[in-house]
Structure 1
Amino acid sequence: MAVYSLSQAIASLTDTLKQLKFQTQSDPIIQLSVSIKPVPAIAWLAAQPCYPRIYWKGRDTEEEVAAIGCCKDFFYADNIDDNQLSIEYQKQRALSNNQDIRYYGGVAFDRTTECWPEFGRAHFVLPRVELRRHGNDYKLLVNLNCETGNAESERDQAMTSLAQLASPKPLPPPNKINILSRSDRPDRYRWTELVNQVTHQKFIQETPKVVLSRLTQLEINQPVDPWMLLACWQGRNKNSFQFGFQFSPDSTFISCTPERLYRRRQRELFTEALAGTTTRGLNLEEDKVLAQTLMEDNKNSHENRLVKDHIVDALTPLSNYVGAESIPKVFKLSHIQHLHRSIRAELKPGVDDFQLLQALHPTPAVGGLPKEPAMSFIRQSEGYARGWYAGACGYFNKYESEFAVAIRSALIEPGRINLFAGAGIVSGSEADSEWIELENKLTTILSILTEL
Structure 2
Amino acid sequence: MRYPKTKDLQEIWDRAEAHLKKGLPFVLYRKPDEKEIFGVFQSNSALHHSKDFTEKGFIFAPFDSENNVILIQPDEVWEGTVRAENLQATPAISLDESGKEAHIDLVRSGIKEIEKGRLQKVVLSRKIEVPISKSPIKIFKTLLNTYPTAFGYLFHHPKVGTWCGATPETLMKVKDKKLLTMSLAATLPYVANEKPNWGSKEIEEQQMVSEYIGDKLAHTMERLEIDDAESVKAGNLWHLRSEVRGNMLPNLKVSEVIRALHPTPAVCGIPTDEAARFIQANENYQRTFYTGFLGELNLKGQGELSLFVNLRCMQLDNDKAFVFVGGGITEASDPESEWVETQNKSKTMLGIL
Q: TM-score, with normalisation over the residues of structure 1?
A: 0.69
More helix by share: 1
Corresponding position of 2:136: 226
Give the distance between the partners of 1:257 and 1:202, measured in 2 at CA: 28
- 1:77-156 alignment, distance < 5 Å: 85-86=51-52, 89-90=53-54, 92=55, 102-111=56-65, 121-133=68-80
In structure 2, what is the equivalent of residue 148 of structure 1?
none
Query: CA offsets per residue over residues 385-411 of structure 1, 9 Å max, x none?
Result: 101101010121113101100110000
Measured on the aligned residues, the alpha-carbon RMSD in Å equals 3.1
Query: Where do residues 191-210 of structure 1 align in structure 2 (5 Å cutoff)?
Result: 191-200=103-112, 203=115, 205-210=117-122
User: CA 1:202–1:299 in structure 2 vs 1: closer, same or farther (change >3 Å)?
Assistant: closer
The count of aligned residue pairs is 342
What is aligned with 2:246?
345
Equivalent residue, structure 2, for 1:320: 222
Cα displacement string for residues 31-75 of structure 1 (whole angstroms, at most 9, x for unaligned residues): 555764643575244333441121121114654311222479764
Distance change in 2, residues 1:265/1:135 (3 Å) = farther
Question: 1:230 Cα shift?
Answer: 1.4
What is the CA distance between 1:425 and its match in structure 2?
Answer: 0.2
Q: In structure 1, what is the Cα distance between the partners aligned to 2:210 and 2:48?
A: 32
Aligned to 2:181: 271
Aligned residue in 1 for 2:275:
374
Distance 1:42 1:444 in 2: 25
Aligned partner (choices 85, 102, 112) of residue 190 of structure 1: 102
Give me the whole-angstrom Cα distance separating, in 2, the residues matched to 1:46 and 1:72.
14
Question: Aligned to 1:69, which of 31, 34, 42?
Answer: 42
Does structure 2 conserve the Cα–Cα contact (< 8 Å) formed by 1:41 and 1:131?
no
1:56 maps to: 29
CA deviation map 1:298-319 (0-9, x unaligned)? 1001111111111111111111
Match of 1:300 in 2: 202
For residue 128 of structure 2, the aligned residue among 201, 216, 224 is 216
Within 2, Cα distance between the matches of 1:333 and 1:32? 33
Residue 105 of structure 2 aligns with an amino acid whose one-letter code is: E
Other-structure match for 2:318: 414
When Rg is computed on C-alpha atoms for both structures, the one with the higher figure is: 1
Instruction: Work out whether residues 201 and 332 of structure 2, in 8 Å CA contact, stay in contact via their aligned partners in 1.
Output: yes
Conserved in 2, the CA contact under 8 Å of 1:262 and 1:402? yes
Distance 1:414 1:107, change over 3 A: same
Provide the residue aligned with 1:391 in structure 2: 292
TM-fit CA distance, 1:267: 0.6
Q: Is the 8 A contact 2:12 2:80 kept in 1?
A: no
Q: Secondary structure at the match of 2:9?
A: coil
Q: Residues 70, 316 of structure 1: CA spacing in aligned structure 2 closer, same or farther, 3 A cutoff? A: farther
* 1:85 to 1:128, Cα distance in 2 relative to 1, 3 A: closer
Tell me if the contact between 2:41 and 2:73 (Cα under 8 Å) persists in the aligned partners.
no
Cα pair distance change 1:201/1:60, threshold 3 Å = same
Contact 1:389/1:420, CA 8 A, preserved across alignment: yes
Distance 1:39 1:331 in 2: 30
Whether the 8 Å contact between 1:261 and 1:404 is mirrored in structure 2 is yes
The answer as to 2:237 corresponding to 1:333 is no
Q: Separation in 2 of the partners of 1:134 and 1:424?
A: 36
Contact 2:5/2:78, CA 8 A, preserved across alignment? no
Query: 1:171-229: CA deviations, max 9, x gaps?
Result: xxx9x99x9x9796xx2222222211222276452201000011001245x4x311210
Cα 1:441–1:130 change in 2 (3 A) is: same
Contact 1:320/1:347 (8 A) holds in 2: yes
Separation of aligned partners in 2, 1:361 and 1:274? 13
The one-letter code of the counterpart of 2:120 is: P
Q: Which stretch of the first structure deviates more once superposed, 41-50 or 327-336?
A: 41-50
Cα gap change, 1:345 to 1:73, in 2 (>3 Å) = farther
Deviations 1:51-109 (A, max 9, x none): 11211211146543112224797645xxxxxxx932xx34x3xxxxxxxxx41022100
Q: Report the Cα distance in structure 2 between the residues aligned to 1:216 and 1:313, rounded to whole angstroms.
A: 35
Q: CA deviation at 1:354?
A: 1.6
Equivalence for 1:442: 346
Contact kept, 8 Å, 2:290 with 2:324, in 1: the verdict is yes
Q: Deviations over 1:209-259 (max 9, x none)?
A: 000011001245x4x311210110121111000112111299310110100
Distance 1:249 1:73 in 2: 8
Contact kept, 8 Å, 1:45 with 1:67, in 2: the verdict is no
Name 2:13's counterpart in structure 1.
43
- Between the aligned partners of 2:105 and 2:241, the Cα distance in structure 1 is 29
Structure 2 segments unaligned to the other structure (5+ residues): none
**Among candidates 357, 360, 383, match of residue 258 of structure 2:** 357
Asked whether the equivalents of residues 124 and 279 of structure 2 are also in contact (C-alpha less than 8 Å), the reply is yes
Q: Is the Cα–Cα contact under 8 Å of residues 312 and 348 in structure 2 kept in the other structure?
A: no
